[in-house]
Amino acid sequence: MSATGGDNPFLRPRRATRRLSIKGLEFGSQAPVRVEGMAKTPTTDVDATVEQISGLQAVGCELVRVAVPTVQDARAIASIRPRIGIPLMADVHFSAAIALEAIQAGSDSIRLNPGTIRHKEAALDVASAARERSIPIRVGVNSGSMQAKVTTPRDLPSAMADEALEFCELLEQGGVDDIIVSAKASDTLTTVEACRALAARCDYPLHLGVTATGPRLQAAVRSAIGIGTLLAEGIGDTTRVSMTAPPHEEVVVAWLILEALGIRRRGPELISCPTCGRCLIDLPSLVEEVQQALADVTEHLKVAVMGCIVNGPGEASDADVGVAGGSGFGFIFKDGKKLRKVPESRLAQELLKEVRAICNTRA
Amino acid sequence: MSATGGDNPFLRPRRATRRLSIKGLEFGSQAPVRVEGMAKTPTTDVDATVEQISGLQAVGCELVRVAVPTVQDARAIASIRPRIGIPLMADVHFSAAIALEAIQAGSDSIRLNPGTIRHKEAALDVASAARERSIPIRVGVNSGSMQAKVTTPRDLPSAMADEALEFCELLEQGGVDDIIVSAKASDTLTTVEACRALAARCDYPLHLGVTATGPRLQAAVRSAIGIGTLLAEGIGDTTRVSMTAPPHEEVVVAWLILEALGIRRRGPELISCPTCGRCLIDLPSLVEEVQQALADVTEHLKVAVMGCIVNGPGEASDADVGVAGGSGFGFIFKDGKKLRKVPESRLAQELLKEVRAICNTRA
């Protein structure tokens, strides 16, 4: 894998952006596509927030956003920041004073919504403080909280891009060049079009996400279509999946999207068949067993768990290692070649033995 | 919503296809994009298969495929078919004799894999029987079981399209015009490129799916990217999501993809925020409560469940009805306007009251 693009031959070249870094973490087309998360705790609850951020980092979150609705939340950042291992972004709405307080408290970056920070002077005050501390700003437009009232759905994406870029221009007037920009809507295709418009009209790194996506599976589907479509076109430098679910699941889904496109990988990739009437072993249990057993493996390798000899090893021929089920038994295969026949009860452990062996060879 | 396209302004026009029907169910660009499922029971277990198909139909499956690895499975179709309410497709590999047996048993359609039915005479035998009974054939190429050995990943999509279309030509020589075609790979973007190639080179209705996608969330992500990207481009006439999970979940995810793109809708659409430090009510529980309470509503309407007044009703302004949380209370809103303030404990029931009222008005 290249650091900036991916190894899939059908990915379009990454859109070139300016580069910036947040507390040493690089963003833009010279850097890997980043995975962000958001803490869902009250930011004033420092211990709970630190613990949640640590959990997010453990599943691959590289930048965490915290909600900062009050001055107290802003001040809590001073206590949170020294205790976490990834950079932090303060999410501020309505009040420049709170944004200034968050910067004062040591926030590594600020997200502002042009729809909720409406006064030019307010934006320039924050820009001035951000410039002084060399803190990047994400300009995040949200279809639900725009200044412009757009009544024709077809006009919404370009209006979102307009509103974002006007705000960016204001920040640049205030001396801030380190800007990440985003435009999110709860409609997936509106989000895609708004990001395409942004990509065509600026060289800021783009943050991708679909907003208000709903419960787990619906959110995964909408985020995958929206973020996935854009990334496949080479658009997007950092992502946040938003779900009504525990925050670590958002990070997991973001990684699944990157992995599906061959852009970045983290840990083993599981190839498994849906099972059908041909499958004579209990595949879902086997998949679950293998998935849990692999949870601590950070090495990337492809592991196949296939229900029958029709699909595996054929469909899983690019897997490093795998099993194909038979009747009460299965075959272990490696690099597309059958290794040995194993009783069903020992399939998982024999597969894991091979996985560990590969990891040891590579280590 | 139009029957054939969708109501989202950013959907590309649907690719024009020839039309065909399977037991009265129309396929192609003149018909809605169909949702397929696959039974995961042994087809010889007639009662279990009938029960599973009935469950699939209940969540919106319009065509069901069953695995037919043996002559006994083929014969079981004669007992299954009179007991189910949706058309059936027999999935046959390796043996023309089994395909003929499935047609004899009354299967409404047959899926053949050019990689596993390799003899020209075998294909022509099946074509002849299918023509006699006016049974459509799906030609489904799978990257894992191709005749051609393709070693360069970049060449795979066009090779998949070649193999599918050569087989279609053979069937046409045998007198079969009612053909649906598909090309699936476990790599998402390879699948997308293969389907784009098919779309450009034929007018057969296209069946979309990504294969061997793995466990639930990973499968939802890969299917959503693959199927979603194509549908957004106007490509695709029927879909099957494949997951290592119970079969009804595959149907649910297929509907979520169609809904995310505004192509088709089934039942209430839930808009909910991911929650953050601004959210002072227990939103995930509320979402779950609302989701369960709405399970029997088939009317399409948008219901928003938002954690705070920053995001809702703003972000959910296109919702028919919704709630926005406060501290121990929330607001009910309808068509973007606040209706009333309600204690948190009564939010779900007050929201549902509004939903029922809307359904009654429309009924």
Question: In percent, how much of chain B has pLDDT > 90?
Answer: 66
Kindly tell me the sign of the dihedral angle through the C-alpha atoms of A190, A191, A192, A196. Answer: positive
What proportion of chain A, given as a percentage, has pLDDT over 90? 65
CB contact under 8 A, B218 and A260: yes
Phi, psi (degrees; rounded to nearest 5) at A110: -130, 140
Alpha helices in A84-214 (DSSP H): 96-104, 120-133, 156-173, 188-201
Using CA coordinates, name the residue in chain A closest to B144: A315
Position B1 scores a pLDDT of 38
Q: What is the pLDDT of residue B310?
A: 65
Compute the distance between CA of residue A158 and CA of residue A152 in angstroms, rounded to an integer: 11
User: Which contiguous run of DSSP H or E holds residue A77?
Assistant: helix A71-80
Angle at B184 between CA B179 and CA B187, to 5 degrees: 165
Name chain B contacts of A145, Cβ cutoff 8 Å.
310-311, 314-315
- % residues pLDDT > 70 (chain B): 97
Nearest CA to A200 among A254, A241, A162?
A: A162
Confidence of residue B276 (pLDDT cuts 50, 70, 90): confident
CB contact under 8 A, B215 and A253: no
The Cα-based distances of B312 to A244, B227, B306 in angstroms read 14, 30, 5
A239 has a chain B CB within 8 A of its CB:
no
Q: Does A77 touch chain B (CB under 8 A)?
A: no
Q: How many angstroms separate the CA of residue A317 from the nearest CA in chain B? A: 7
Whether the CB of B46 is below 8 Å from some CB of chain A: the reply is: no
A272 touches chain B (CB under 8 A): yes
CATH 3.30.413.10 residue spans of chain B: 269-362
d(CA B245, CA A291): 14
Q: If you average pLDDT over residues A12-29, what whole number do you get? A: 97
What's the longest Cα–Cα distance across chain B? 73
* CA pair distance B81, B89, nearest whole angstrom: 10
A256/B316 touch (CB, cutoff 8 Å), yes or no: no
Range of lowest pLDDT (B43-52, B181-190, B344-353): B344-353
pLDDT band at A311 (very low <50, low <70, confident <90, very high): low
Q: Where are the CATH 3.20.20.20 domain residues in chain B? A: 2-266
Sequential DSSP letters for B259-324: HHTTS---S-EEEE----TT--S-HHHHHHHHHHHTTT--S--EEEEESSTTTTTTTTTT-SEEEE
Nearest in space to B39 (alpha carbons), one of B250, B245, B247: B247
pLDDT score, position A292: 80
Predicted confidence at residue A258, as pLDDT, reads 97
| Single-letter residue type at A241 | V
Contact A157, A141 (CB under 8 A): no
Distance between A38 CA and the closest CA of chain B, angstroms: 7
Q: How far apart are CA A214 and CA B271, in angstroms?
A: 5
Query: Contact B8/A187, CB-based, under 8 Å?
Result: yes
Complex prediction ipTM = 0.91
Radius of gyration of chain A (CA): 23
Q: Which of residues 319-338 of A touch B (CB under 8 A)?
A: none
Contact A222, A261 (CB under 8 A): no
Nearest CA in chain B to A306: B212
Buried-state track B218-255, b at ≥16 Cβ within 10 A, e below 16: bbbbbbbbbbbbbbbbbbbbbbbbbbbbbbbbbbbbbb
Cα angle, residue B298 at apex, residues B295 and B302 outer, rounded to 5°: 85
Report, as an integer, the average pLDDT of A129-137: 97
In angstroms, the separation between the Cα of residue B304 and the nearest Cα of chain A is: 9
- Cβ of residue B261 closer than 8 Å to a chain A Cβ: yes
Answer whether residue B308 shows pLDDT above 90.
Answer: no
Instruction: Say what the pLDDT of residue B242 is.
Output: 94
The shortest CB-CB distance from B272 to any of A214, A249, A314 is to: A214
Distance CA A40, CA A196 (A): 29
| Facing residue for B225 by CB, picked from A157, A260, A273 | A260
Fold of B2-266: TIM Barrel (3.20.20)
pLDDT recorded at residue A4: 59
Tell me the whole-structure pTM to 2 decimals.
0.92
Tell me what percent of the residues of chain A surpass a pLDDT of 70: 97
Confidence of residue B296 (pLDDT cuts 50, 70, 90): confident
pLDDT digits (tens, 9 = 90+) for A242-253: 998 999 999 999
- Segment A75-102 shows an average pLDDT of 97
Residues of B within 8 A of A236 (CB-CB) are none
In chain B, which among 293-312 make CB contacts under 8 A with chain A?
304-306, 310-312
Give the pLDDT band of residue A307 (cuts 50, 70, 90): confident
CATH fold for domain B269-362: Sulfite Reductase Hemoprotein; domain 1 (3.30.413)
Query: Searching chain B, which residue's CA lies closest to the CA of residue A241?
Result: B274
pLDDT for position A2: 46
By mean pLDDT, which of A92-101, B113-122, B250-259, B279-288 is the weakest? B279-288
pLDDT surpasses 90 at B311 = no
pLDDT score recorded for residue B277: 74
pLDDT of residue B3: 46
d(CA B311, CA A211): 10
CA distance B88 to B263: 24
Position A335 scores a pLDDT of 84
Give the model confidence (pLDDT) of B200-240 as tens digits.
999 999 999 998 788 899 999 999 999 999 999 999 999 99
Cα(B259)–Cα(A348) distance, integer angstroms: 37
Top mean-pLDDT range of A276-285, A312-321, B4-13, B60-69: B60-69
pLDDT exceeds cutoff 70 at A312: no
Map tokens 């009209």 to a residue: A201
Name the average pLDDT for chain B. Answer: 91
CA distance B208 to A98: 49
Task: Give SS3 for B97.
Answer: helix
Given this model, what pLDDT does residue B80 score? Answer: 98
What is the Cα–Cα distance from A256 to A207, expressed in whole angstroms?
Answer: 17
Q: What is the mean pLDDT of residues A19-26?
A: 97
Q: Which of A221-225, A309-313, B5-9 has the highest mean pLDDT?
A: A221-225
pLDDT class for B4, splitting at 50, 70, 90? low
The minimal CB distance from A314 to the residues B144, B188, B229 is found for B144
